Structure 1
Amino acid sequence: MKFITVQDLVNRFHLEILAGHSELHRPIAKSRVHRPGLEFVGYFDFFPQQRVQVLGRKEITYLHKQSEEERDSRIGHVVQYHPPCFVVTWNQEIEGLRYLIAHCERERIPLLRTPDSTSKWIGLADSYLTKMLAPEIQVHGVCVNVAGIGILLRGKSGVGKSETALTLIRRGHRLVADDAVVLKKINPETIIGTHDGKTKEFLALRSVGLINVARIYGRGAFQEETRIVLDIELTQWKENELYNELDVEPKFSSYMDVNIPHIQISLQPGRDVAGLVEAAANNWYLKLQGYSAAEEFMQRIEASVQQQQQHKP
């Protein structure tokens, strides 16, 4: 099971540690945070105890309104489940958190604090945890972002994936990852493509070697991640194959049970492969808007035939 540690959360959001300094190694394996509410009134049937617990102004104000004995009882019932950590938002004053600090120190649970509002921090934390804990695989290929559309370029070694990516970069598009592309499944319908850290900003070109696209072409030539919406396979041209279909049968590639539209582009000397990738990306976007060039073409043919029939004597 994938996990990060409380220390990773502290580092990512620059959280202040109020209690549990020695327990920052505790694992976080759930991708969403939780605001305890019903738990403070004793209902624990569906308490997600493995999630980070967030205490905003609403929760802290409620606890302050209880008697000391009742407050200790209510927070004690939550603490006894030993969640990974608690995060207090809005930089709420430590003086009003003494009882919470005492409980966390006694149970050895990290208590953290952020100046962010509750809604803002929950949004940021959920996004971060979802990406960090998402199932992932690594595939051989190149990941690029073409006019806002994430594309995975695949094919055999030496077929021209990196060279195609270089041409796309020179045309104003962006590199995400070369050679080792990390795919993350962040929800049942979405795959994110990113790099593995070691190859960040690097593009490997045969006969040239490694180049840093951000240093050569500027920061706009690279981005950290992109949603993969097209899987394009580059293949060698075969003389006996038919390549003039008016409407290509929809095909899909599956990554971690997520289907991604698949297109095959055959390479031949003189073909503008980067231009074909751009066309495929733009055509996918138009189909997403409900437009099909093949359908419009067939409608024109049908209209022309009907017009000819109407003019027959």
Structure 2
Amino acid sequence: MASVKLESIIEKMKLENLTPDIDISKIKITQPDINRPALQLAGYFEHFEATRLQIIGFVEYSYIEGLPVARKKEIYERLLSCEIPAIVFCRELKPDELFTEIAEAHKVPLLMTKKATSAFMAEIIRWLNVKLAPCISVHGVLVDVFGEGVLITGESGIGKSEAALELIKRGHRLVTDDAVEIRKVSDETLVGSAPDITKHFIELRGIGIIDVKTLFGVSSVKDTQNIDLVIRLEDWDKDKEYDRLGLEEEYTEYLGNKVVCHNIPIRPGRNLAVICESAAINHRQKKMGYNAAQELYRRVQESLARGRSDEDEDE
């Protein structure tokens, strides 16, 4: 099961630890959902998801401030005795001494952020969704081409890295070479990234490993990128028929999500970088509502219709 260390969340979200004496090194978050324990503070604990990160905003804070001390102690004990990974107070709100005392007794970390509750919730959910998304690793190269995430796949040695290098020299950005970690962020979105060990590196046969970030600058690399298009490179087969119109889209599937896929035959003289650029621009154009293949088909149909009309008039 994927997990994120609480320490990573504190560092990423710039949270202040209000209970530094509690050891948080082994605390992990295993799901992207969060919970605002308003009903629990009111005494309703049915279906309480204690394993989620708990968020306390101004409404919850105002409610517990108005409770009598005896009731506070009762609710605090019941809430904090659950196996809660951490509680975050938004808007720089600080828990009272009784809350802090009971939290430390039950070893529940208390954190604080300056951000508004809704803004913090949106940010933490988005970030956790990416970090905890289902993940697979595939062999290929991922490049940001004109803002479109192009995943180049194919047999080892077919020229994926060389195509990526040419794209980088033409001003596009490398995400990862050789191994692509694909995360399913939603039913429509796949996000690709590089393993930490190979980040910003490209392997070129005959030369070895090169550091793209060092050679071409920080503008030539990117940490993550949505995968919009797959280009599968294959050796040219003269006996095989290749799609020359593109009227029907072909798809490949990763983690249950379908992605548009083009099979590109390789032979001497074909410029892979230009082909990848053209495929990315054409894909963007289709998303904007224009399909060149359909436009050609429409023109052919109109031409045929005019030809039949002219024949009818001649008769």
Shorter chain as denominator, the TM-score bin is over 0.9
- 1:265-304, aligned counterparts within 5 Å? 265-304=264-303
Q: Which amino acid aligns with 1:73?
A: E
Matched residue, 2:102: 103
- Give the CA deviation at 1:231: 1.5
CA distance in 1, matches of 2:170, 2:8: 38
Q: Secondary structure at the match of 1:192?
A: strand
Deviation at 1:147, TM superposition (A): 0.8
**1:90 maps to amino acid:** R
**More divergent stretch after superposition (61-70 vs 11-20):** 11-20
- 2:9 is aligned to 9
Task: Please name the residue that 1:197 is paired with.
Answer: 196
Identity, % of aligned positions: 32
Q: Which moved more, 1:36-45 or 1:142-151?
A: 36-45
Tell me the alpha carbon deviations over residues 235-265 of structure 1, each in whole angstroms, 9 at most, x when there is no partner.
Answer: 1111222235223542222211112111111
Q: What SS does the aligned partner of 1:233 have? A: strand
Structure 1 residues 215, 20: CA separation in 2 closer, same or farther (over 3 Å shift)?
closer
Distance 1:184 1:202, change over 3 A: same
Q: For residue 206 of structure 1, report the CA deviation from its aligned partner.
A: 1.6
Q: Which residue of 2 aligns with 1:21?
A: 21
How big is each residue's C-alpha offset from its partner over 1:151-187, in whole Å with a ceiling of 9 and x where there is no partner?
Answer: 1111111100000001111111110000111111112
Partner Cα separation in structure 2 for residue 290 and residue 13 of structure 1: 38
CA contact (8 A) 2:247 2:294 kept: no
Code of the aligned partner of 2:74:
S
Distance 2:112 2:246 in 1: 57
The one-character-per-residue Cα deviations of 1:24-63 (angstroms, maximum 9, x if unpaired) are 1222111122211122222233322111001122211111
Distance 1:20 1:104 in 2: 12
Counterpart residue type for residue 49 of structure 2: P
Query: Residue type matched to 1:67 in 2?
Result: P
Amino acid at match of 2:11: N
CA distance in 2, matches of 1:13, 1:190: 23
1:20–1:109 Cα contact (<8 Å) kept: no
Cα pair 2:141 2:160 within 8 Å, conserved = yes
The alignment's TM-score, normalised by the length of structure 2, stands at 0.93
Q: What code does the residue aligned with 2:180 have? A: V
With the length of structure 1 as denominator, give the TM-score of the two structures: 0.93
Distance 1:305 1:248, change over 3 A: closer
Q: State how 1:144-163 maps to structure 2 within 5 Å.
A: 144-163=143-162
Matches within 5 A, 1:35-114: 35-93=36-94, 96-114=95-113
State the alpha-carbon separation in 2 of the partners of residues 43 and 20 from structure 1: 30
Task: Note if contact 2:245-2:293 (Cα within 8 Å) is conserved in structure 1.
Answer: yes
The code of the aligned residue for 1:5 comes to K
The residue identity in structure 1 corresponding to 2:124 is A
Secondary structure of 2:17's partner?
Answer: strand
CA distance in 1, matches of 2:265, 2:184: 29
CA distance in 2, matches of 1:6, 1:247: 48
User: Which 10-residue stretch deviates more, 265-274 or 73-82?
Assistant: 73-82
Report matched runs for 1:228-243 at 5 Å: 228-243=227-242
**Paired letter, 1:140:** H
1:165–1:274 contact (8 Å) kept in structure 2: yes
Query: Partner residue of 1:252?
Result: 251
> What's the CA shift string for 1:259-298, capped at 9, x where partnerless?
2111111111111111111111122222222322121111
What is the letter of the counterpart of residue 268 of structure 1?
A: R
CA distance in 1 between counterparts of 2:278 and 2:67 reads: 64
3-state DSSP of counterpart to 2:258: strand
Q: State whether residues 250 and 261 of structure 1, in contact with CA within 8 Å, keep that contact through their aligned partners in structure 2.
A: yes
Q: Distance in 1 between matches of 2:241 and 2:31?
A: 49
User: How far does residue 20 in structure 1 lie from its aligned partner after superposition?
Assistant: 6.4
> Do the aligned residues in 1 keep the contact of 2:247 with 2:293 (CA within 8 Å)?
no
Does residue 33 in structure 1 map to residue 34 in structure 2?
A: yes
- Which residue identity is paired with 2:93? Q
Whether the aligned pair in 1 keeps the contact of 2:54 and 2:87 (CA below 8 Å) is: yes
2: CA distance between counterparts of 1:22 and 1:182?
34
Q: In structure 2, the residue corresponding to 1:138 is in which secondary structure?
A: strand
- Note the alpha carbon deviations across 1:81-131, whole angstroms, 9 max, x for none: 2211101122224xx521221121121111111222222222221122112
Distance 1:205 1:121 in 2: 43
Residues in 2 aligned to 1:239 and 1:263: alpha-carbon distance in whole angstroms: 18
Cα RMSD (Å): 1.7
Look up the match of 1:188: 187
Distance 2:215 2:110 in 1: 45
CA distance in 2, matches of 1:300, 1:72: 77
